[in-house]
A = this chain, B = another copy of it.
Amino acid sequence: MERKKLTGSELLQELSALPGWSLYEGKLHKLFTFPDFVKAFGFMCEVALVAQAMDHHPDWSNAYNRVTIDLVTHDLGGISTFDTELARRIENLLS
């Protein structure tokens, strides 16, 4: 996969195929809610593995059963193909 910043129209098209994801402060953003901390952190372990394998890591936070993920490619100055690919792989973990 080519690693490149998305144009505005590419980004809008990608967003339409990523349910629950939004643009927030220039990042691809989603809040995930789980029954409890155990399920939330199990999800984080899975995301960590997927992210490390891509060598592309989220900005994310957790409070008990909630996990907030923000994706951006700092060195490209915006949202890139790697961010939307990581978002897709994160969605696949939950399907």
Name A's B-contacting residues (CB within 8 A).
37-39, 41-46, 48-53, 55, 57-64, 93
Contacts and interface: CB of A to CB of B under 8 A. Distances in A.
A20 to B, nearest CB: 20
A48 B37 CA distance: 9
Contacts of A38: 46, 49-50, 52, 93
B37 A41 contact: no
B57 A46 contact: no
A56 B58 CA distance: 23
A68 to B, nearest CB: 8
B52 A37 contact: yes
A62 B82 CA distance: 18
